Structure 1
Amino acid sequence: MSEERVIYTELKSAHSRQQDKRRPMFKRRGFPWHIVALTLGFLCLFLLLAITGLGYMFFHRCSGEIRQDMKAPEDKNASLAEVEDHLILLPTTAWNEEDDTFQGKWYCRGKSCYHFSKEEKTWERSMVSCQDLQSSLLKIETKEEQVLIQSKIKYNHWIG
């Protein structure tokens, strides 16, 4: 019988040694960009939902206010009439004597302004009302002033 000998050899080439030197034993991982991208994605989604929610609340509130405004115009008209009664229009020197303007219950001509009230009051209550408006009761001194006042009070009453 012949004896066979088995010889094992390990072959290493020069080329493979250079590649081994370049390649480390373990794979080095880079910066975890996927975590950053995932975090930024969730942040964008959260901001989008927040803006959508705030926009919905804003427009819902605005439309509710519009509905309320449309429901009660009579209440607003009543409060506007109350405010109008308490407004004071003071004459200014910028008015021309020939200027002829009418502002609500006030009529201004030249340097004089007249307040016309539709309420019936006693003499004393009329004086108090005039003082509240920082004015005084009218004293007609000329025929021209009397004609002017009479032309403006067609629907109001006064005692001369």
Structure 2
Amino acid sequence: MAGFQTIPWRLISGVLGVMCLVLMATLGMLWKNSFTKPSIQPTPSPGPNLEPQKDSSCQKMWIGYQCNCYFISNEMKTWEESKDFCASKNSSLLQLQNEDELDFMNHIRRWYYWIGLSYNKKHSAWLWEDGSALSQTLFSFPQTVNIQNCIVYSPNKRFLNEPCRKEMRFICKQLI
């Protein structure tokens, strides 16, 4: 009678062993598939893509948008060092030219960034690096702007003035 009772347990353990092997094989296939790229390309979502563009004519780690390439730094530099870095990459600090570009910039991280706007004493005006005037219709400054400072931009369309020697992140812009 003792031998008769072991047969159901052998059957149960055999079934459980087979199930374990099937589950392990399934897990192995899922694991393998998780490390391979899907053959179906995702459809682009509306709005800007902030991933570096491989197919564009932008440098590695730059973001392509319309006819420009943008470099959004994680490194902290003074305004002058930021300007020099951008120049070394054949670009300039960000110059916002229209509402579309301003909306595009609102999708970046939540820090303040140096942009290419500073006070020109000779012209007694805030000018972009290329010498063009600031558009008052695109955005306005707070009333208390220190002309000794440089301008930082935040993705929520905020512009603040900070001492130019302060280290901040920065955005470079390059025309394609």
- Whether the TM-score (by the shorter chain) exceeds 0.5 is no
Structure with the higher strand share, 1 or 2:
2
- TM-score per shorter chain, which class? 0.3 to 0.5
Larger radius of gyration: 1
TM-score (norm 2): 0.35
Q: Which has the bigger relative contact order, CA under 8 A and spacing at least 6? A: 2
